[in-house]
């Protein structure tokens, strides 16, 4: 299985995935990082881990279609079979999603469908929710949507600050995402029908 991790920022989930691969917890033939942000810290993480970096800046293209076509070309050249979004801050077009249907995973720091969007942890904290959590799901044409693969609930403690809650959520993400990728690579969750057998 050849994996592409898409990331635009810090890249802690990228590092968690690479660690699991290096520890032989996930059977991956090769892995690349795809980033749209030349200043993203995840690029330094990838370089340190000696992972191939594919940097494709949206600013270099006149349209999203051309931008995505360039990504697809690189994915083809690396024979990518699975995409894991890990803080990739761009919506993928319906055409891109259709091309890689049931082969694009995303991780989100809430119990979807609650608290969608880029501020999910803060939103749960500000709403004084009793619980939040992490969701890994297949990507479809809508934001933070698509068939749920795995969710884990996390209690928001009375002594939690936003920073402590973020830390606990990220730790949970780092556990769940490699677990789901392992399931996918083992042929357990290739379709929504497959999901029903493992949940």
Catalytic residue among 108, 127, 170, 174: 108
Indicate yes or no: pTM above 0.75: yes
Confidence check: pLDDT of 152 > 90? yes
Which CATH number among 3.40.190.10, 1.10.1660.10, 3.30.420.40, 3.40.50.170 corresponds to the domain 2-195? 3.40.50.170
108 classed as catalytic: yes
Q: Where are the domains of the chain?
A: 2-195
pLDDT tens per residue across span 99-128 = 999 999 999 999 999 999 999 999 999 999
- Element (H or E) spanning 131, and its range? strand 131-138
Per-residue model confidence as pLDDT tens digits over 140-150: 999 999 999 99
């Amino acid at each position: 299985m050849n994996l592409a991790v898409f990331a635009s920022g810090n890249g802690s989930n990228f590092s968690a995935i690479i660690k699991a691969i290096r520890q032989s917890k996930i059977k991956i033939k090769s892995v690349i990082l795809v980033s749209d942000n030349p200043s993203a810290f995840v690029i330094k993480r990838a370089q340190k881990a000696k992972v191939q970096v594919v940097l494709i800046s949206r600013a270099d293209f006149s349209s999203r279609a051309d931008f995505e076509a360039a990504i697809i070309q690189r994915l083809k050249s690396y024979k990518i079979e699975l995409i894991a979004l890990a803080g990739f801050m761009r919506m993928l077009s319906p055409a891109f999603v259709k091309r890689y249907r049931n082969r694009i995973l995303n991780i989100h720091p809430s119990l979807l469908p609650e608290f969608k969007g880029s501020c999910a942890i803060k939103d749960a904290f500000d709403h004084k929710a009793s619980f939040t959590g992490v969701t890994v799901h297949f990507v479809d044409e809508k934001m933070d949507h698509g068939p749920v693969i795995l969710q884990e609930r996390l209690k928001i403690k009375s002594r939690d600050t936003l920073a402590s809650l973020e830390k606990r959520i990220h730790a949970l993400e780092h556990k769940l995402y490699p677990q789901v990728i392992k399931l996918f690579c083992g042929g357990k969750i290739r379709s929504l029908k497959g999901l029903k057998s493992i949940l």
